[in-house]
């Protein structure tokens, strides 16, 4: 009898548990209450920038090789990424230094005391930091003294006869540079170029159609964004040109952007996005997402503003739109920064 009573109690409990009223069923299956998606009103500038894909590239590149490249590299003081300046030793060849000097034209011949000519004047300009006289094109005692000072500062004995040799002096227009590659290893015969270097910071370029290039100009400010440069940087367009027609028949120009701050060497070949504002005087005011704009039966626009746990319709004029935002003005002034507007529901 006891067992029968227990079983009856369990059956009764289960029946009560599983049997629900229609009201309970409706409550359990009803959708959750709808909540509003909101966003604050902000004050800002409405811009619809031109977006361009770009790439980080090397700046100006130079190649340096001593004249008569038949010697053996006996010293390699520079490594990739290292900087050098005028008077710096790039390498040793046959136990003699290869010294970098600033000058647009290399030695056309070996020069020595008593020589005259335009090439002597150019050498005197390059040796000015070491006390060379004003360039007069005549190699006198002052030029000899400057050449000897150059070698002493580099840690080497001057050449026999105080001769300026093309095998020991290499030239480029820049004051210095950063090594990109060293072609000849220690103990190897000199190969050309012995040193490849960049003399300016990395730049950013973009290829654009001819029509797009007409919208751009030198001096325009640009926002540069990309993981390769560690976020965003600002820069300036320094060149728009080089129009050429590709195999697809489309004419394209190259836009060059110089970042305000040097980009890291590791960013070279990285992909970036350029954002260029084409409006010199963009409109400013209260901004809301386009999704927050509603229209009434008369064609007017309004916002749904949430205040004190209730909502209110605020009539607005849409002054302009762009980049997913609307520049708005309240008809009665009843809209301020940080007001919360409804953009949808869920």
DSSP 118-155: HHHHHHHHHTGGGTPPS--SB--HHHHHHHHHHHHHHT
| Residue-level pLDDT at 176 | 94
H or E element in which residue 106 lies: none
- Residue 36: both structure tokens together: 């509003």
Confidence of residue 324 (pLDDT cuts 50, 70, 90): confident
**pLDDT (mean) for 40-68:** 89
Q: Identify the structural domains of the chain with CATH numbers, from first to last.
A: 38-46+283-345 (2.40.420.20), 50-59+201-276 (2.40.30.170), 107-165 (1.10.101.10)
**pLDDT (mean) for 325-331:** 91
- Residue 310: both structure tokens together: 């209730």
Q: What is the DSSP letter of 110?
A: -
| Residue-level pLDDT at 45 | 84
- Residue 158: burial class (beta carbons within 10 Å; 0-12, 13-18, 19+): middle
Higher pLDDT, 15 or 126: 126
Higher pLDDT, 45 or 7: 45
Confidence of residue 68 (pLDDT cuts 50, 70, 90): confident
Distances (CA, A) of 87 to 64, 84, 167, 168: 14, 8, 15, 11
pLDDT exceeds 90 at position 16? no
Query: Whole-angstrom Cα distance, residue 118 to residue 232?
Result: 48
What number of other Cβ atoms are within 10 A of residue 195's Cβ? Answer: 24
Percentage, residues of the chain above pLDDT 90: 64
- Tens-digit pLDDT profile for residues 224-235: 999 989 999 999
| Residue-level pLDDT at 249 | 87
Question: CA torsion angle for 309, 310, 316, 320 (degrees, to 10)?
Answer: 40
**pLDDT (mean) for 4-27:** 54
Instruction: Look at residues 99, 225, 85, 91 and name the one whose alpha carbon lies nearest to residue 152.
Output: 99
Angle (nearest 5°) at CA 12 between 7 and 18: 125
**pLDDT (mean) for 211-230:** 93
Phi-psi category of residue 126: left, alpha or beta, with phi > 0 → left and psi -120 to 50 → alpha = alpha
**For the chain, what is the mean pLDDT?**
88
- Tens-digit pLDDT profile for residues 22-51: 666 555 555 555 577 999 999 988 877 899
pTM (predicted TM-score): 0.58
| Residue-level pLDDT at 4 | 55
Instruction: Look at residues 253, 197, 185 and name the one whose alpha carbon lies nearest to residue 80.
Output: 197
């Amino acid at each position: 009898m006891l067992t029968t009573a227990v079983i009856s109690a369990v059956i009764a409990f289960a029946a009560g548990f599983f049997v629900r009223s229609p009201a309970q069923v409706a409550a359990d299956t009803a959708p959750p209450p709808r909540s509003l998606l909101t966003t604050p009103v902000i004050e800002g500038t409405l811009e619809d920038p031109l977006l361009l894909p770009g790439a980080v590239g090397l700046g100006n590149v130079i190649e340096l090789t001593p004249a008569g490249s038949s010697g053996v590299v006996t010293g390699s003081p520079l490594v990739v990424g290292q900087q050098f300046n005028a008077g710096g030793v790039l390498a040793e060849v046959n136990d003699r230094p290869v010294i970098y000097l600033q000058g647009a034209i290399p030695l056309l011949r070996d020069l020595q005391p008593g020589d005259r000519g335009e090439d002597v004047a150019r050498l005197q300009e390059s040796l000015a930091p070491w006390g060379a006289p004003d360039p007069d094109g005549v190699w006198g005692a002052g030029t000899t003294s400057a050449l000897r000072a150059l070698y002493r500062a580099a840690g080497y004995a001057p050449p026999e006869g105080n001769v300026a040799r093309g095998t020991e002096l290499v030239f480029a227009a820049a004051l210095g540079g950063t090594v990109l590659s060293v072609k000849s290893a220690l103990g190897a015969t000199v190969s050309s170029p012995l040193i490849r270097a960049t003399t300016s910071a990395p730049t950013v370029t973009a290829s654009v159609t001819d029509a797009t290039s007409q919208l751009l100009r030198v001096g325009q400010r640009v926002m540069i964004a990309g993981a390769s440069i560690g976020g965003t940087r600002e820069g300036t367009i320094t060149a728009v040109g080089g129009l050429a027609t590709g195999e697809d028949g489309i004419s394209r120009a190259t836009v060059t952007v110089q970042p305000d701050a040097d980009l890291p060497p590791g960013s070279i070949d990285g992909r970036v996005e350029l954002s260029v504002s084409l409006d010199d005087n963009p409109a400013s005011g209260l901004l809301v997402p386009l999704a927050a704009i509603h229209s009434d039966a008369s064609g007017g626009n309004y916002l749904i503003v949430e205040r004190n746990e209730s909502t209110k319709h605020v009539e607005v004029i849409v002054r302009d739109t762009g980049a997913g935002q609307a520049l708005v003005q309240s008809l009665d002034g009843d809209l301020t920064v940080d007001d919360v507007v409804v953009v949808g529901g869920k």
